[in-house]
Structure 1
Amino acid sequence: METTEASELPPPERSPVAGSPRRNGARLRTPEYVGRRPPTYEAEPTSWPAADPGGLEDLVPDTVLDGARYGALTLRAGSLRGDSARYRGEPRRDALLTARFGAGDDALLLVAMASGARAAEGAHRAAREICAWLGGAVGRSHARLVEDIHAGRRDELKSGLHRLTDRTYGRLRVRAAELGLRPSEYTAGLRCLLLPVDPRCRTRVFFGVGPGGLFRLREGAWQDLDPEPREPVAEAEAEPLTGYDVADRITVDLGIPTPGTAPVIDPAEVPSEPFRFRASIARPGDTLLLCSAGLADPLRGEAELGVRLAERWARTEPPGLAEFLADVQLRVKGYADDRTACAVWEG
C-alpha cells in the first residue's frame, strides 16, 4: 500500500501553516489535524485547475457532499480534493456516485467511488467514467441483485458483480485505446457498496478493485474488514452469514478478462488487481465506512484519527453533512491525497 508522504513532494514555496489566516483582524477557524505536527499544506483550497474554454464540462468541483435516510439507515458521503492537489491547482482524482434504483422496499442503494491513477493525464475523467458505467450496469440489474441479496445466493451475487466489474474495466481499456493511451495510463481503482432499502434485510455488500478501505465501527472499536491480502482477517471479524461464508471476504481476480467483454490487449498492459468482495450482516448501532486510499491510509497509519472519528460517530445521532465533512477532512501530516468516504449508520 502506497502512502503519499509530504517529504516525497517538492516543498511549497511558502510555509502554508506559518500562521493561521486572519480576516479583518479575526482569526479564522481552520480544519483540525491529528498527530504531533501540523500538515505541510494549507487547510483550505489555494488554486483551481486550469480550464479549457471548450471543455468546461470536464471541470471537477473541489468538494461534493451527499446524504440520505431510509428508515433506520442513515448515509453520509463526501469527496474532497487532497491538500497537495489544492495547493498545486490539480483536479480531484477521486469520483463519487450515489444512486437509488427502484422504489419502496424493493429499492437498492449504490455508493461507488473511484480513484484515478496518480500523475496520469485525465485521471479524474477515468474515475468518473468507471463510476458512471458501473452504476449503469448495477441499475439495469438491480432487481436481480436485490433478489440475490435477500435470498443469500452467494455464488450468483459474487459472480454477477465480478462480471459487471470486468465488463466495466473492459470499457475503460477501450476508452484508453481510443485516446491513444496505455491501459495503465487511463484507469482507476473502484470500491462500491450495495444497500437494500428493505428494513428486514441487514445484508451489506461491498465489492471493488484497488486500494482503499472498508471499516466497521462496532461497540466503540474499529474493525478493518478489507485489509491488504497479506494481512489475515481475525476470526472474530468473520461472523457467520446465511448464504455466505468467510471465503467471500476477498476473491482474487487473476487478470483474465471475461470472454467477449474486453478488447484483445497484451496481458502485460493490464496489471492484475484482486477483485474484492464481502457481504456481512449489520447490527443496530454499527457504522460502516467505505473510503478511498486517501482516508484509509491515515486511518491505518495514525491511530489517533480512528480514535477521534470513533468518538464523534458514536453519538446518538449521525452527523449532519457539514459535520461529516469536518470529520472526513481531519488532517494528518504526510497524507495529502484526495479523500472520498461514505459512512452508513445503522439504527
Structure 2
Amino acid sequence: METLVYVVLSVSLAGNALLLWALRRRRSPVEVPGPERMVRVEVPGPERIVRVDVPGPERVVQVPGPERMVKVEVPGPERIVRVEVPGPERVVRAGPAPEFGAGPFPPAVPGGLALGRDGVHDTVVDGADLGSLHVRGGSLRGGRHRADQRFRRDAFLTRTLPEFPRPTLLSAVSAGNPLGLWSRTAAELLCESLGTQLDAFAKPLDTALTEGTEGESSDAVTDLLRTVLRGTASSLERLGHRHQADTRDVSADVLAVLSPLGETSVRRHLVLGTGAGVALLLRDGAWHPVLELAPDTAWPAGRALPAGCELRHQSVHTRPGDVLVLCTGATAELIRRPEVAKHLADAWAPGSPDLLGFLQQAGFRTAGADTDRTLVCLWEAV
C-alpha cells in the first residue's frame, strides 16, 4: 500500500513538474540587457504572429519578414518582457535594434486573409517601361488591417487612354473611406471611371497638355475636370444603389496625373484630384511638393466624393532624372518622415527598379506605419 501511495505521489509530482515546465516554456521572461529598449524575438514556427505581454496597450506584434524576427519595444520602465511564441521552440535573442534602412525591407507576410465581402489582394504591384517614361505602382495592406483581418481600402491604376490623339498615360491613386463597407470597391471603381470620363474629353484635354493651362485655358480645363469628377461621383452613387449602401459606404477620393508619352527632353503632366492625396517631385535628391489636396477629408452622408475638397489641378514639368510620385494622404505622411524620405530618395534617384524591387522599396518597415500604403511613381529615364 505504501508503495502504491509512493508511486501515485511520484507520478503526481512529476506531472506537476512537467506542467510547470510547459507553462514556463510557454511564457518565459526575457531580460533586456542594456540601455536599449528593444529585443529581437525569433519565431521558428510557421505562425506569423507572436503575442507580447508588455505594459503598453499593444498586445500583438506581426512578424514582418521572412527572417522570422520581430522587434519588440519595451515602453515602460520595466526591464522584463514576457513573450508568448505559438511554436514549440523558445529561442529569444536580445540585442539592439538595427537603424532604419539597415537590411532588406520585404513586405510583411499577413497572418491571415482579409475577411468580408469587399476583400481584395493583400498586395498589388504593376508597371511598365513606356519609352523614356517608366511607371511603377503598388498598394499594400496596412498592418492594422492585417491584424484585424480587414481588407485593403486603397486602389491605384496605370493605363493608357485610347481616345487621346497621342498616346497618353493615366496614373491614379484612390483611398476609400476607412469606415466604408464598400470603400475598396469604390476606390477601384473611381480610378476606372476616371479613365472613362477623361477619354470622353480627350481632345480638349490633349490640347491643354500641349499648350498649357494658363488664363482662359485654365478655366476651360477646370470646367472639363469638374464635369469629369461629377461623372465619377455618379458611378459611386450607382454602386451604392446596387448594394443598397449608404453613400458614406462607397466614398473615396482620387489623385491622378495625365502624362503624354513619347521621347522628349521636358514632359508636361497634368495633375488633378480631390481629397487628401499628395503629388511630390523628387529632383536631384530633394523632395518638392507639386499638388496637395485637402489635408482633412470629411466623409458626410449624401456625397460620394469628400466634402469641402475642391477640385485642384496643376501642370508640372519633368526632365530626365526626375521622379513624379502620386500617393494617398496616409502614404504621404510616411514619405515626409526624414528617414523615409532619405531612404526612398537614395533608392529611386539612380533610376527605376524592376517591379519586385519597387515593391520591396515601397514596403519599408518603420514604427507607426500601420495604414494602407498606395503610390504610383513616374521616372524620367536619363
Unaligned runs of 5+ in 2: 1-55, 70-86, 90-97, 296-300
Q: Which one of the candidate residues 272, 284, 289 is aligned to 2:325? A: 289
Q: Cα deviation per residue 1:18-76 (whole Å; 9 max; x = unaligned)?
A: 995179x9xxxxxx98399xxxxx93211112366xxxxx5411111111122211111
Structure number with bigger Rg: 2
Give the alignment's TM-score, normalised by structure 1: 0.73
Q: The residue matched to 1:68 in structure 2 has which SS?
A: strand
Q: Which one of the candidate residues 268, 277, 282 is aligned to 1:203? A: 268
In the other structure, the counterpart of 2:112 is 47
Q: Quote the offset at 1:270 in angstroms.
A: 6.9
Give the alignment's TM-score, normalised by structure 2: 0.67
Q: Quote the offset at 1:325 in angstroms.
A: 0.7
Q: Quote the offset at 1:103 in angstroms.
A: 8.7
2:211 and 2:180 mapped to 1: Cα distance? 42
Q: CA 1:179–1:287 in structure 2 vs 1: closer, same or farther (change >3 Å)? A: same
Q: CA 1:45–1:283 in structure 2 vs 1: closer, same or farther (change >3 Å)? A: same
Determine if contact 1:33/1:330 at 8 Å carries over to the other structure. Answer: no
Q: Quote the offset at 1:197 in angstroms.
A: 0.8
Number of positions where the alignment pairs a residue of Structure 1 with one of Structure 2? 287
Residue 162 in 1 paired to residue 226 in 2?
A: yes
2:258 and 2:343 mapped to 1: Cα distance? 27
Q: Quote the offset at 1:202 in angstroms.
A: 1.0
Letter in 2 for 1:181: A
* Greater length-normalized contact order (CA 8 Å, ≥ 6 residues apart): 1
Q: The residue matched to 1:288 in structure 2 has which SS?
A: strand
The alignment yields a C-alpha RMSD, in angstroms, of 3.4
Q: The residue matched to 2:158 in structure 1 has which SS?
A: strand
Residue 151 in 1 paired to residue 216 in 2?
A: no
Percent of aligned pairs sharing the same letter:
29
Q: Quote the offset at 1:215 in angstroms.
A: 0.7
Determine if contact 1:33/1:331 at 8 Å carries over to the other structure. Answer: no
In the other structure, the counterpart of 1:216 is 281
Residue 314 in 1 paired to residue 349 in 2?
A: yes
Q: CA 1:209–1:33 in structure 2 vs 1: closer, same or farther (change >3 Å)? A: farther
Instruction: Please say which of residues 334-343 and 187-196 is displaced more in the overlay.
Output: 334-343
1:112 and 1:126 mapped to 2: Cα distance? 14
Q: CA 1:212–1:148 in structure 2 vs 1: closer, same or farther (change >3 Å)? A: closer
Q: Cα deviation per residue 1:235-293 (whole Å; 9 max; x = unaligned)?
A: xxxxxxxxxxxxxxxxxxxxxxxxxxxxxx968x9722121211111122111110112
1:61-72 superposed matches below 5 A: 61-72=121-132
1:66-145 superposed matches below 5 A: 66-102=126-162, 106-145=166-205
Q: Which one of the candidate residues 301, 315, 321 is aligned to 1:279? A: 315
Letter in 1 for 2:148: R
In the other structure, the counterpart of 1:14 is 60
